Amino acid sequence: MTRALIIVDVQNDFTEGGALATDGGAAVAAAITRHLNEDGDRYDLVVATRDWHDADGDNGGHFAAEGTEPNFVDTWPVHCVAGTPGAEYHESLETRHIDIHVVKGMGEPAYSGFEGATSDGETLQAVLADVGVDEVDVVGIATDYCVKATALDACRAGLQVTVIHDLTSAVADATRDAALTALQTHGITVTTLAELAAA
């Protein structure tokens, strides 16, 4: 098996103090780094995705219109605008581990890393195929949105998918639980670091 780690959107705006913070986001960034420091040889490739929204416009309705409140389902506060500090990786995520960087959401809503591309225009699916990846672990932010969407697309691409859920943080507990159930329904393994180590 050729295995990759997909780190989803571990960005300042999705961690404490950011425009769209998740509870525990900073801790997730640090925990992912520890995982890679301790067990990085588990992976043949490490990919990280980032939201990289346009500064102008509402990015296809992804940002709530000026003067309206976001509904936190389809519309969101302005976040992860390309080139701003909020769009950068959280400082606790050590980027030296990352082999490939993928950005998504340029002018349009995009939750899955499979909707993004590298700076050379290569899709995430193509990047994984180039290396012969057939198994992926997915971690990052947010469990209930971009992690879920990325894991589901990886499954649709024919990959064996594991979500390490204690290396994720969510927008809300209820939607996190629903997301994990949905992932398992689609045949995706949901596990913890301790369970992974014991396997």
Structure tokens at 101: 């960087």
pLDDT digits (tens, 9 = 90+) for 108-131: 999 999 999 999 999 999 999 999
To the query of whether residue 9 is one of the catalytic residues in this protein, the response is yes
- Taking the C-alpha atoms of residue 47 and residue 116, their distance in angstroms, rounded to an integer, is 12
To the query of whether residue 148 is one of the catalytic residues in this protein, the response is no
Domains of the chain (ranges, CATH numbers): 3-198 (3.40.50.850)
Q: Out of 25-29, 57-61, 135-139, 183-187, which region has the weakest mean confidence (pLDDT)?
A: 57-61
Query: Is the predicted pLDDT of residue 148 greater than 90, yes or no?
Result: yes
Q: Which of 80, 144, 146, 148 is catalytic?
A: 146
Q: pTM for the complete prediction?
A: 0.96
Query: Could you tell me the CA-to-CA distances from 22 to 8, 65, 97, 173 in Å, in that order?
Result: 13, 22, 23, 10
Q: Which of 13, 80, 104, 144 is catalytic?
A: 104
Query: Is the predicted pLDDT of residue 47 greater than 90, yes or no?
Result: yes
- Give the pLDDT score at 1: 87
> Is residue 94 exposed (0-12), middle (13-18) or buried (19+ Cβ within 10 Å)?
middle
Mean of pLDDT values over 155-172: 97
Phi/psi of residue 73, nearest 5 degrees:
-125, -55
pLDDT digits (tens, 9 = 90+) for 48-73: 999 999 998 899 999 999 889 999 88
Mean of pLDDT values over 140-167: 97
Q: What angle do CA 190, 193, 198 make, to 5 degrees?
A: 95
